[in-house]
Amino acid sequence: MKNKEVTIEKHSGEEEKSPKIIVRCVGHEFFYPISDILRLFTGEIPRQEEICVVCDAGAMASSIDPSSSDLILVSSISEDRVETYTEKGAPGEDPWRIFIDKEDMFLPPNREVKRQLYFLLSRLSGRAFPWGSLTGIRPTQVARELTSEEEMTNIYDVRKDKAHLAFLTRDREDLVLSGTDKDSLHVYIGIPFCPSRCAYCSFVAQEAPRKTALLPQYVDAVLSEMDMVLPRIEGKIETLYIGGGTPTVLSEALFEKFIKGVFSHKEFSALKEICVEAGRPDTITEKKLQVLLDAGVKRICINPQTLCDRTLARVGRKHTAEDFEAAFEMARKMGFSIINTDLIAGLPGETTEEFCDSLTRIIKLSPENITVHSLSKKRRASLSREEIVKQEKEELERIEKMLSFASENLLSSGYNPYYMYKQKDTLGGHENVGYSKDGTECVYNVAMMSDQRSVLSFGAGGMSKRVFFGSDDALHVRVERCPCIKDPIQYIAKVDEMTEKKIRFFS
Ligand code: SF4
C-alpha cells in the first residue's frame, strides 16, 4: 500500500499527520461505491491506491481511536459472505462488524458493499444522512425497483420523509413518461454563455461580455450541427429544450437569427413541448420574448434563485429581485402560459428566513413550475477538525430546514414534485426537486433526469444519451452516453468531428 504523507497546519504552526480512513477491498473492486460513502461521511475526496480506497478522515476524524493514527476497514466478499469490519483505529477492543450470508443477500454485491460501509460509518460516527446510503443521483430510479417507502428506509436507511418524497416523485415521473413514446427522442440545445458568472456555478457557462466576437460563430456552429445531424437521425422528436448558460444572453438580432434557424428544421414541426431558458432576468427584453412567441414557444424559465438582493449581489448575479418580478410580469402579460422559476436553498450567506421569504413571494406569483435546487459546498479555511464538523452539521441542518419548508409549502399550495435528482458534490447529497401544478410538468426534464428516454444534444458541453429497454419497460437496461466538447472555442473548431460522432452514436 502506498500511502502519501498528508499534513495539516495547526493554528500553533505545529504540523501533525492528518488521520486517514483506509478501506481495504478483498475479493472485489467496488472502489466507486466505497468512495461515494467515504466522501459522504468525511467531506473529502477519496483516492484509489492499489486494492484500497484512501481518504483524509475529515469530519470522521473524531470517530477514530486517539491511540491510532488511521481508521482501517476491510470490505470483503468471500464465497459465502459479504462483510465489512474495522481492522484498526476503531474505539474499543473488538472489531466493529457488519455481514450478510450470500444466501440471504437481496442486493447486488456492489450495493451491499456500499450499504454495509454506510451502516458501519454511521454507527462509528453517530451520524446519519437524509438519503442514507443512496449516494446516487437518481433516488426515483431506486424507488422504481422497490415496492414501498418502508423498504427504502429499511434497506438504505433513507429518512422516512425523503422516502415519501422519492415515491411521490417517482409516481409523477411515471405519469409523465406514460404520455411519451418509449422510443421517442428529446432534444437539447445549449448556449453556454451568461451575462456574468455566478459564484456557485458548476456549469461550463462563460461570460458573454468577454466573448462577444465568439457568439455569432457559436450560433453558426450549433445551427450547422443541427443541419447535418437532424436529417440523419431516426426517431420521433417529442420535446425541445433550449438551455445553457442563458440563451437570452444573445443580442436581440442574434437571438432572432438563432431561434429562426432552430425552427427552420422540419423535424421540429410537431413537437409536444418546447421550453426555453430565459434564466437571467437581466437578459430578457420584449423583443426576445416576441421572437419566442412568434416561433410558438409558450413555456419559459425565469430564474431568480433568490429574491434577496443582498444574496444576488453576493453571488455575482447582476440583477435584483425587482428585475425578476418585472420580467415575470412582462412574460405573463405577453402570453407565456407556463413559467418555471428556480430557487436555490443554501446560497452563500443566505439565512433560512431569507430563503423562506423568497419561496413565499414566488408562490404568490403563481408560476406553473418551481424548481428547488440545493447547494451546500463544504467550507474549510484553516478550521480545526471540531469546527469543521460543527460547521458542516449546522450547514446541513440549515439546508434541511429550507428544503422542508419548500416541500411543505409547495405541496400545500397545489404543487407536486415531478422530477428529482441529486448532486454528488453537495454536503450530505441533498436533492433538487422540480414541482409543478397539475398538467404543467416539463416532459423534457423528466425524460432527461429519469434516464428513461433518449436525448439528442446540440452545442458545447451537451450530453447525448440512448436508452435501451429490456423486456420490462418500466426499468431501462442500459444507457449509453456521448459527451460533446465543453469548451466553445474547441467546439466551433471541431464541430464537423462532433457531428460525425453524434451521427454514428445514433445509428
Ligand atoms: S446563470 Fe446558471 S449557468 Fe449561468 S453562470 Fe449562473 S449558475 Fe452558471
- 144 within some domain: no
Looking at the fold, whether 55 and 200 belong to one and the same domain comes out as no
What lies within 8 Å, CB to CB, of 503 at 6+ separation is 228, 229, 232, 233
Looking at the fold, whether 215 and 336 belong to one and the same domain comes out as yes
Ligand 1 pocket check for 245: Cβ under 6 Å: yes
* Closest C-alpha among 86, 64, 72 to residue 21: 72
Looking at the fold, whether 102 and 212 belong to one and the same domain comes out as no
Ligand 1 centroid–CA 197 distance in Å is: 6
Residue closest via CA to ligand 1's atom 8 equals 201
Residue closest via CA to ligand 1's atom 7 equals 201
Ligand 1 centroid–CA 122 distance in Å is: 35
Ligand 1 pocket check for 461: Cβ under 6 Å: no
Q: Quote the pLDDT of residue 279.
A: 87
Q: Looking at 427, 449, 471, which one is the last position of a domain?
A: 449
- 299 within some domain: yes
Total count of domains within the chain: 2
Ligand 1 pocket check for 279: Cβ under 6 Å: yes
Domain of residue 318, CATH code: 3.80.30.20
Looking at the fold, whether 188 and 336 belong to one and the same domain comes out as yes
- 136 within some domain: no
A 10 A CB-CB count for 143 gives 26
Looking at the fold, whether 246 and 123 belong to one and the same domain comes out as no
- 403 within some domain: no
Looking at the fold, whether 209 and 352 belong to one and the same domain comes out as yes
Q: Looking at 449, 471, 497, which one is the last position of a domain?
A: 449
- 492 within some domain: no
Q: Quote the pLDDT of residue 390.
A: 72
Ligand 1 pocket check for 282: Cβ under 6 Å: no
Which of 191, 196, 200, 201 most suits a substitution to test ligand 1, by most atoms within 8 Å of the C-beta? 201
Looking at the fold, whether 250 and 339 belong to one and the same domain comes out as yes
What atom in ligand 1 is closest to the CA of residue 196?
5
* Closest C-alpha among 362, 344, 354, 363 to residue 431: 344
A 10 A CB-CB count for 270 gives 9
Ligand 1 pocket check for 280: Cβ under 6 Å: yes
What lies within 8 Å, CB to CB, of 269 at 6+ separation is none
Backbone angles phi, psi at 438, to 5 degrees: -50, 130
Ligand 1 pocket check for 278: Cβ under 6 Å: no
Residue closest via CA to ligand 1's atom 5 equals 197
Under DSSP, the state recorded for 367 is -
Ligand 1 pocket check for 26: Cβ under 6 Å: no
Q: Tell me the three-class secondary structure of 261-322, residue by residue.
A: HHCCCHHHCCCCEEEEECCCHHHCCHHHHHHHHHCCCCEEECCCECCCHHHHHHCCCCCCHH
- From the number of C-beta atoms within 10 Å of its C-beta (0-12, 13-18, 19+), residue 333 rates as exposed
Q: Looking at 405, 429, 449, which one is the last position of a domain?
A: 449
Looking at the fold, whether 214 and 360 belong to one and the same domain comes out as yes
- 244 within some domain: yes
- 204 within some domain: yes
Q: Quote the pLDDT of residue 125.
A: 92
Looking at the fold, whether 115 and 245 belong to one and the same domain comes out as no
Looking at the fold, whether 123 and 187 belong to one and the same domain comes out as no
Q: Quote the pLDDT of residue 469.
A: 87
- 288 within some domain: yes
Start-to-end C-alpha separation, the chain: 45
Looking at the fold, whether 222 and 358 belong to one and the same domain comes out as yes
A 10 A CB-CB count for 443 gives 22
Instruction: Kindly give the confidence (pLDDT) of every residue in the chain, 507 residues in length, as a single tens digit, with 9 standing for 90 and above.
Output: 333 333 334 444 445 568 999 999 999 999 999 999 999 998 888 999 989 999 999 888 888 998 888 999 999 999 999 999 999 999 988 899 999 999 999 999 999 999 999 999 999 999 999 999 999 889 999 999 999 999 999 999 999 999 999 999 999 999 999 999 999 999 999 999 999 988 888 787 889 888 888 999 999 999 999 999 999 998 899 999 999 899 999 999 999 999 999 999 999 988 999 999 998 999 999 999 999 999 999 999 999 999 999 999 999 998 999 999 999 999 999 999 999 999 999 998 899 999 999 999 999 999 999 999 998 665 454 556 566 667 777 888 899 999 999 999 999 999 999 999 988 767 677 899 999 999 999 999 999 999 899 999 999 999 999 999 887 655 656 899 999 999 999 999 999 999 999 999 998
Measured distance CA(507)–CA(225) in Å, rounded: 16
Which of 196, 197, 375 most suits a substitution to test ligand 1, by most atoms within 8 Å of the C-beta? 197
CB of 75 within 8 A of CB of 53? no
Residue closest via CA to ligand 1's atom 6 equals 198
Ligand 1 pocket check for 303: Cβ under 6 Å: no
Q: Give the structural domain span for 216.
A: 183-368+440-449
Ligand 1 pocket check for 199: Cβ under 6 Å: no
Looking at the fold, whether 122 and 187 belong to one and the same domain comes out as no
